[in-house]
Amino acid sequence: MPPELPASLVLEQLLNGLQFGLMLFLLATGLTLVLGIMDVVNLAHGSLYMIGAYLAATLIPHTGSFWAGALLAVLATALLGVLLEVSVLRQLYSRDHLTQVLATFALILVFNEGVRMIWGPQALLLSVPPELSRPVRLFAALSYSAYRLTIIGVGLALAALLFLLIHRTRLGMWVRAGASNRAMAQAMGVPIRQVFTLVFGVGAGLCAVAGALLGPILAVQVGMGEHILILAFVVIVIGGIGSVKGALVGSLLVGIVDTAGRAFLPMLLVRLAPPEVASNLGPALASVLIYLLMALILFIRPEGLFPARA
């Protein structure tokens, strides 16, 4: 290890954290809205991410273009989300959380087994689009992956679009009204049922965006949704359930704290503790860092950073 941390390495790790955080944001937005507005604990959210990635991996070779294939996959997953809401989720709104957890967990099993039957247990190939496979020189000392920069760009653009949608449109007003008080919003004439369906569809589409964009750097495989879903839940608990702003801040916090923890904590420990202790403690501490962060935030603000229901 170099004795001094080069600034370019710190910057690179921050970009890595930002990129990871923005992808978590795409997953967490749908999850937080579904939980906040519809009051449904949807464990099958990760399955939509998996299906988005599988559809992208299938459609991209067919269309011959990464972006066309990814777009089709996003639309198809959104449609699947709408169908899922109408057929299954709608039956669960009036049930308690335990029933919802059981039913949506069953959906995970159904989707995993379905994907395995259609595509097989082997991971699929999904490559970085060739035009983005070269690194870009940002500064003299730092060149960064063009593909990861694109992910950051798409993530930021979608975050901005969602903010406009939620804070500047009538639909967004309905969504916010539904999140803060569903019964009152319904009484005031908000077409809650249609809003639910739409929100679920958009959430599913955002999952597919994350699935398609992460596919080239992560394994497109059965079960890929579960690992990332746990992180998405951490994000929405930190950010406050039902809040898109909370999801954004939470995702960036989790992404950056996790990346920085893995990158710098072991280096720090090496200076503070004997080598054996540092080599055992470093990875252990880095891997629980985001959960420590969650515990800390819950201790200070039990409702999360930006609770939707004030």
Partner 1 sequence: MIRRWLAGIAAGVLALVVLPAGAQPRTIKIGFVSTLSGGGAALGQDVLDGFNLALRHLNHRLGGLPVEVIVADDQLNPDVARTAVDRMLRRDRVDFVTGIIFSNVLLAVGDLVFENQTFYISPNAGPSEYAGEQCNQFFINVAWQNDNLHEAMGHYAQLKGYETLFILAPNYPAGRDALTGFKRFYKGRVIAEVYTRLGQLDYSAEIAQIRAARPKAVYAFYPGAMGVNFIKQYAEAGLMQQIPLLLPGFSADADVIRAVGKPMVGVFNSSHWALELFNPINRRFVEDFRRTYNRIPALYAAQGYDAALALDHGLRAVGGDLGRKAEFRRAILLGFDTTRGRVRFNKNGYPVQNYYLRQVVELPNGEILNRLRGTIFRNHGDAYVSRCRLPDVRP
> Which residues contribute to the site for partner 1 (CB under 8 A)?
1-2, 6, 9, 12-13, 16, 19-20, 112-113, 116, 120-125, 127-128, 133-135, 145, 147-148, 216-224, 226-228, 259-260, 262-263, 266, 279, 282-284, 286-287
Among residues 241 and 278, whose Cβ is nearest to partner 1?
278
The Cβ of residue 287 has, within 10 Å, a number of other Cβ atoms equal to 13
Q: Give DSSP secondary structure letters for 219-278.
A: -B-TTHHHHHHHHHHHHHHHH-TT-HHHHHHHHHHHHHHHHHHHHHHHHHHHHHS-HHHH
Token readout for 288 is: 């629980």
Closer residue to partner 1, CB minimum distance, 12 or 85:
12
Of residues 36 and 216, the one with the C-beta less far from partner 1: 216
Minimal distance in Å, beta carbon 153 to partner 1? 16
Q: How far is the CB of 81 from partner 1 (least distance, A)?
A: 23
Question: Which amino acid is present at 243?
Answer: S
Closer residue to partner 1, CB minimum distance, 1 or 272: 1
Nearer to partner 1, 57 or 237 (CB): 57
State the nearest-atom distance from the C-beta of 226 to partner 1, in Å: 8
Three-state DSSP string of 130-182: HHHCCEEECCCCCEEEHHHHHHHHHHHHHHHHHHHHHHHCHHHHHHHHHHHCH
CB atoms within 10 A of CB 170: 8
Q: How far is the CB of 260 from partner 1 (least distance, A)?
A: 8
The CB-of-299 to partner 1 minimum distance in angstroms stands at 24
Helix (H, G, I), strand (E, B) or coil at 42: coil
